Amino acid sequence: MTEPFLLTNLTAVTMMADGPGYGLIRNAGLAIENGYITWTGALPTCPLKYAKTPKHDCGGRLVTPALIDCHTHIVYGGHRAKEFEMRLEGASYEEIAYAGGGIVSTVTATRDTSESNLLAAALRRVDTLIAQGVATIEIKSGYGLDQETELKMLRVARAIARLRPVHITTSFLGAHAAPAGHDKNTYIDDVCIPALKRAHAEGLVDAIDAFCEGIAFNSDQIRRVFETARALGLRVKIHADQLSNTGGTALAAEFDALSADHVEYADDADVAKLAASGSVAVLLPGAFYTIREKQIPPINTFRSHNVPMAVATDWNPGSSPLGSILLAMNMACTLFRLTPAEALAGTTRNAARALGFRDRGTLAKGQRADLAIWDVTTPAELSYGIGTNPLHKRIFGGIL
């Protein structure tokens, strides 16, 4: 239980508008009690019951929902700086993967890193995101590709929430790649699906993810994983159509996925199916930038079909070593031509939807009191800055 208090002298960026706006309330107030918002609105309309509630002056600052990073791979061992050099020397992402680099190289490092060292490294990354106003982070496995390491990664992810004021949601990504020398079908049936069942039995997994791509798994192989997830009562998401159109977005729609992520090569028919399913398109400009892709996601088609667009860092050691949600917002605007309002929606209400949450991502009665207070005068400044961090204060669960 926490004592109620009232935030005053602020501009509330409620993100309640369904359209392109921010849902701004100027000269606003926010009432918080027991970790939840109990009222928000123009301060002159504040209910009388809050007249004697302790007040905290925000100094005219902007207040938004705390940010949500809905796609990360921040539990891993080692780094892949050498591959960064290789790309600059002309090697493609696919060429590096087929040469034994890419995901498989991180698998080796992650298997060889102790649970305690994985946790220590992940906490440093989490601290970076918290310092930028993030209160909810999705973390994937997928750098184990054997049962023990996949579960080790998920245990580390669960431990983070016990050690930091942040909400962690986990995704089992056993279908990330096949280990060197393994038949993909055999790996799915003999390693991935049994690991998923163990992770679920141990309470380590909140959702299922998979990588549908030529260098990873095809839609038929992923379908077997998703059918297992459905039998376990788990929602799915998918790395879809990042490097080519291999049917991942359509598969996401078929399984009513929480999200289809990357989606650079999704076509009009894919987007229509995604719209009908209610799935979110998660845009990952860090990967687009890092591997120097040229085809951007079909942003206008998403708009015309009213597909919600989320934005995330995709923080990982290979294709998106991006440790800034604010820079991801800027890149979504500059590279993908999102508006700043769309970018902020992408890291608040749409990111919450991409994770299946209904209790965060907006400033409204009944929402978690996870807030970010910013030293800016307009919300567009959050996407405008490059390498800046205007966070004044983050409130997590109503704790000042």
For the segment 219-229, what is each residue's pLDDT rounded down to a tens digit? Answer: 999 999 999 99
What's the sign of the alpha-carbon dihedral 351, 353, 356, 361? positive
- Tokens matching residue 118: 């994985």
Q: Which of 23, 19, 26, 27 is nearest to 65 (CA)?
A: 23
| Cα gap 74→260, rounded to integer Å | 19
Query: Residue 89: pLDDT above 90?
Result: no
Q: What would the pLDDT profile of 288-317 be if each residue is shown by its tens digit?
A: 999 899 999 999 999 999 999 999 999 999
CATH number of 5-65+361-395: 2.30.40.10
Residue 105 pLDDT > 80, yes or no? yes
- Segment 68-78, tens digit of pLDDT: 999 999 999 99
pLDDT more than 90, % of the chain: 89
For the residues 231-250, what does the mean pLDDT come to? 97
Give the whole-angstrom CA distance, residue 125 versus residue 321: 11
Stretch(es) of the chain classified as CATH 3.20.20.140: 67-354
Nearest to 103 by CA among 164, 36, 180: 180
Q: How confident is the model at residue 97 (pLDDT cuts 50, 70, 90)?
A: confident
Cα gap 99→96, rounded to integer Å: 5
Question: Please, which pLDDT band fits residue 180 given cuts at 50, 70 and 90?
Answer: confident
Instruction: State which fold the 67-354 domain adopts.
Output: TIM Barrel (3.20.20)
pLDDT of 93 over the 80 cut = no
pLDDT band at 117 (very low <50, low <70, confident <90, very high): very high
Q: Is 173 exposed, middle or buried (0-12, 13-18, 19+ CB in 10 A)?
A: buried
To the question of pTM greater than 0.85 for the whole model, the response is yes
- Please give the Cα distance from 300 to 337 (Å, whole number): 9
Domain with CATH 2.30.40.10 in the chain: 5-65+361-395
In this structure, what token pair is assigned to residue 71? 């796609």
Task: Check if the beta carbon of residue 258 is closer than 8 Å to that of residue 279.
Answer: yes
Across the range 344-359, mean pLDDT stands at 98
The model's pLDDT over 14-59, given as tens digits with 9 standing for 90+, comes to: 999 666 689 999 999 999 999 999 999 999 999 999 999 999 999 9
The pLDDT of residue 19 is 64
Whether residue 102 is predicted with pLDDT greater than 80 in this model: the reply is no
